[in-house]
Structure 1
Amino acid sequence: MTMPFPEPTTPTASRSEVFTNYLGFFRSRVIEKIESLPDHELRTSRVPSNWTPLELVKHLTYVELRWIEWGFQGQPVETPWGDWKDDRWHVPPSETKEDLLQDLQAQGRRTTSVIESTNLSTQGQPGPRWRDQPPATLERVLFHLLQEYARHLGHLDIITEQANARTGE
């Protein structure tokens, strides 16, 4: 199901809701684009950097995990860089499209829970995510996540267009 684009004129109850609406929209578009691709395109790269659509999905899941749970909340995460192997994104053959999309949705629910229960001006917990810098506020982390999603969704849009699959917002 397509989520409507969160237009700037759409009323929201809070700034937090603006973030949840945009992140939810971006996640839903990633899922729709992945589901529109033929199976043989999911593990095939069409770009010189050699990433695949499924690797991008896993990367976005880990981006949220790293910034929200490992970074902002300061939670221990066993493998915060579990989307990387040999200096590039990686998805082993055992991980399926369905598994990766479920993981993305589950991470999205955890992120939404943090956004809904935390003031945007709350500063994150100290930890390795910050590389010895003061932790950012939740609002700054969410701006970063929006940038990641928007950029990678644009990349995925080009890939789906090349594969003659779903394009657009």
Structure 2
Amino acid sequence: MPPLDADERATAEAWLDFYRATLALKCQGLDDAQLRIAAEPSTLTLLGLLQHMAEVERNWFRRVLAGEQAPPIYDPAADTAGHDGGFDLTDDSSYDKAVAIWHDEIAQARRNCAARELDDTSPFLDGRVSLRWIYTHMIAEYARHCGHADLLRERIDGTTGV
């Protein structure tokens, strides 16, 4: 539970961590076959969501915030200016690999944010974007995908709730 009476940064970081933990919880206790189950007609899977969120972490906290030339994780030929990708699974996609990469990207995101203030900006599109905006966007991105994860998990084994 994020703190109820913290400063702006602590609140933003806590909500982001809350949704990261929620996505991890939605995958907990499932095997690779279950993590590959899609809610037809969609091809969206829990494993694909994990991979996607690693790409999203990389995009916003490494490419945009830190200005790194970090290639896509799951499709090295993809255009990094487009969507973050990661949704598609390959034969060698696995939970162990995906969660390790996701955790690495989260750790790098925390390192890249540690020395910055919420008002610090980085070049983005034709302007600049603040760390505050990136945190807000990431909270919304995770919240949206945690809703997808809720539906997928319920379809897989009937589990509901956080």
TM-score between both structures, scaled by the size of structure 2 = 0.84
The residue number in structure 1 matching 2:67 is 74
- Specify the alignment match of 1:65 in structure 2: 58
Given that 1:160 and 1:167 are in contact with CA atoms closer than 8 Å, whether structure 2 keeps it comes out as yes
Q: Which residue of 1 aligns with 2:38?
A: 45
Q: Does 1:26 align with 2:19?
A: yes
SS at match of 1:114: helix
Residue matched to 2:112: 114
Separation in 2, partners of 1:65, 1:76 = 10
> Given the superposition, is the C-alpha separation of residues 115 and 17 from structure 1 closer, same or farther in structure 2, using an over 3 Å criterion?
farther
Structure-2 separation of matches of 1:62 and 1:52: 15
Task: Give the letter aligned to residue 50 of structure 1.
Answer: T
Asked if 2 retains the 8 angstrom alpha-carbon contact of 1:84 and 1:90, the reply is: no
Structure 2 residue identity aligned to 1:106: D
Q: CA deviation at 1:123?
A: 0.7
> Hey, what's the Cα distance between the residues in 2 that align with 1:17 and 1:79?
29
Deviation at 1:38, TM superposition (A): 4.1
Partner SS, residue 24 of structure 1: helix
Change (3 A) 1:47 1:142: farther
- Whether the 8 Å CA contact 1:120–1:139 is kept in 2: the answer is yes
Q: Could you tell me which runs of 5 or more consecutive residues in structure 2 were left unpaired when the two chains were aligned.
A: none
Picking from 88, 91, 103, the partner of 1:90 is 88
Indicate whether 1:6 and 2:23 are aligned. no
Which residue identity is paired with 2:63? W
Q: TM-score, normalised by structure 1?
A: 0.81
- State the shift of 1:15 in Å: 2.1
**Superposition deviation, residue 80 in structure 1:** 6.7
Distance 2:99 2:77 in 1: 17
Moved over 6 A (4+): none
- Please tell me the root mean square deviation across aligned C-alpha atoms, in Å: 2.4
Q: CA deviation at 1:19?
A: 2.0
Aligned length: 156
Residue aligned with 1:135, SS: strand
Identity %: 22
